[in-house]
Structure formats: C-alpha cells, structure tokens
Amino acid sequence: MSAITKRVHHLADGRELIYFDDADTTLPPDRAPDRRILDDRPPTATMRQDVLTGEWISVATARQNRALLPPAELDPLAPQSPTNPSEVPSTYDVAVFENRSPSFGPDPGDTHSADALAGLGLGRAAAAVGRCEVICFSPAREGSFGSISRSRARTVIEAWADRTAALSVIPGIAQVFPFENRGEAIGVTLSHPHGQIYGYPYVTPRTQRLLASIDEYGPSLFADVLDHERAGERVVLAGRHWTAFVPFAARWPLEVHLLPHEHVADFTETSTEQRDELAGLYLRLLRGVDALYGDPTPYIAGWHQAPVHTHRDRVRLSLQLTSPRRAESKLKYLAGSEAAMGAWIADVAPEEQAERLRDAVARADAADPV
C-alpha cells in the first residue's frame, strides 16, 4: 500500500494538519490553505497528582469550550465551506490535526522525565505536556470506523502507524494511544466518523497494572493468553495474523479483544501483511458489533500499545473494544461497586456473548461482505 500518500500542512493558528490520501484516491494533490482568523491556542494544561492513588489528573479547562452535538451543516470536522469554517480546509480521505483544546500539550517545551513524575506527595503538580490529535476517518458527516470502505480502513491504519511513530519521538511523551469513542451513550459530542490519538507524558494507570501482571506472571503473558483463547469457545473471528475474542474475565457486557499472532509493541512494528489483513478483519468485527441488535452500538475502541521507552518486548499491541450495551434497550451504568471500588460484576457470560457476536458477524458478512 505504498500508494497511500501523506501530505503535511498547517492550520491558521500553526497547528499541524496531515492529509492521508487513499491508495485509490480520486482527490487532486493540492489542498486549500486555512484562511480563518483564530484565537491563540490555550496554554498547556496542568496535571495534579492524586496522593491516594498516585495517578496524575490533567486539569484542562479549555475543553469546556469544545463543540457539543452541532447541527450537520456546522460539523467542525467536515471540509470547510463558505458557511462552515471547520477545522479542515479541503476535502479529504483521512485527515489528522492537533486538537484545538487538548488535554495534553500543546507546548512540549517544559518536558519532564518519568523519574520526575515518580513518587508521591501532597500538592504535586506538573505541566501536562504531550499531544492530542483528532483523526477524521472520512469527510462524511455521520458514521464510524465500521462505515468506511476497506481501502479507507487501510489508510487509517497507516495513519495510526505514522502518528504513533511521530508522537513517540516528541520529548516527554511516554505512551501513544489511538482510540475511537462511538455513540452519545459513551459521551461523544460529534457524530462525524473520527477518533483521537493521545501522546501521554506518563505510562497510563491501566498499563502500569498490566506491567505489574507481567512482572508476576512472566514475559510470555500475551502469548499464553492468545493460545488459551484460541483453544477455547470465545473466539469471535480469526485470520492469519489476528484473532478477536471475548476475554475470559470480560468486565463489560460487550467486550472484545483483538491480538496479533506475532509480537509487535505498537503499530510501527506491524508488517504490510498484518495491516492489510487488519483492515478487513476490523471492519468485519465492528459491523458484527452493530449487527447484534440491528442499530449502532456505542463503544470505546482503544488500541493499547507498549510504552515508548520500556517493556516493548513484553507488552503486545492489542485492541480492547468495550460497550455498556447489555441488551437491545439496556445499558450498564457504573454504579457503586464498579465506579467507587473498581469491583466489577459481569451482566453477561463471556461465552454467551461470543456466540452472539459470531452469529452477528456472519449476518453482517452476508449482508455486506468486506
């Protein structure tokens, strides 16, 4: 897929804008400049340490001003028009740009090492250095990753790999996380098909707990999990390079993990063959998730990657897709036990959900083959 083309531009306030053109694009190479007059970017947010857990909390008050379910004609992720001064000046296949109101960044100048963030103390604060990017999967005003073509899915995967590489070399960034929030039940504020890519200044709490498990279990944890699941009844679909399964101890009523068969730390280490297969396999999985109940399912699709500088030989790239949907018209709300204590209660047996998902994928394949 070497024909996927990357074109780097900038927005009116200096933010980076990158176009990724499909291998079979019909777009011309030229892109229009951004002629808007924009306010200065907000200052870098501040992080504060929760002394009870050791976790860092970013206080990003500029996020209060972000768009909230605007009408379609004012979609800020659609290509600009005379009546819509959006974030992307030209039509596009896939577009990535720096978030105007980021949780981390935009100024990477005041960086700090992992050692500087280690330890525990009252009143500890630090600059929330890092980078937050928006990735638009399509110029369409409605949809999600599952609604794009296979060629476009392949372009998005290429963009994930490119941006993981780019963010990983920014001073102060410790981990890179591509993800998609889908549906108002998740808290999505834009219906445009898009995701985000975060570059964190620390290794996230979820990954730190994973590292502790690897230290206790051993470096073969991911390989053994994959072998265990592939030998069981919770596999949803599998290819030559990837397997999707409902995990043995799924927390959410709908939860699917997707692992590569060979160890790769993040998207930068995936081969052309792995990326090609993933484009179709991931689309089939998402369309199956939507076929469960016949209408779009809210979800969070998070691509968990190894830290930039450590444990790359032990932490394997993995998708973890979760949804609060526990029945056609029911959602799981995180009440006292889960939200307050982190003690989860599963509403649906993982084996039962895996069988439903296999049937749903089969129906989606029959209705609209990828």
**In the chain, where the domains are located:** 5-155+189-194, 207-367
Q: pLDDT at position 263, please? A: 98
Q: Tens of pLDDT along the chain (370 residues)? A: 459 999 999 999 999 999 999 999 999 999 999 999 999 998 899 999 999 999 999 999 888 777 677 888 999 999 999 999 999 999 999 999 999 989 998 865 566 666 788 899 999 999 999 999 999 999 999 999 999 999 999 999 999 999 999 999 999 999 999 999 999 999 888 899 999 999 999 999 999 999 999 999 999 999 999 999 999 999 999 999 999 999 999 999 999 999 999 999 999 999 999 999 999 999 999 999 999 998 999 999 999 999 999 999 999 999 999 999 999 999 999 889 999 999 999 999 999 999 999 999 999 999 999 9
The Cα 247–Cα 69 span in angstroms is 33
Rg of the chain over all Cα atoms, to the nearest angstrom: 20
**What pTM was estimated for this model as a whole?**
0.96
Please give the torsion angle defined by the CA atoms of residues 205, 208, 212 and 218, in that order, rounded to the nearest 10 degrees: 140
Could you tell me which CATH class the domain 207-367 is placed in? alpha beta
Give the side-chain half-sphere CA count within 13 A for 277: 16
Active centre residues (catalytic): 194
Please state the separation of Cα 151 from the chain's center in Å: 19
- Is the separation of the CB atoms in 147 and 296 below 8 Å? no
Q: pLDDT at position 247, please? A: 98
- Is the separation of the CB atoms in 241 and 264 below 8 Å? no
- Is the separation of the CB atoms in 147 and 297 below 8 Å? no
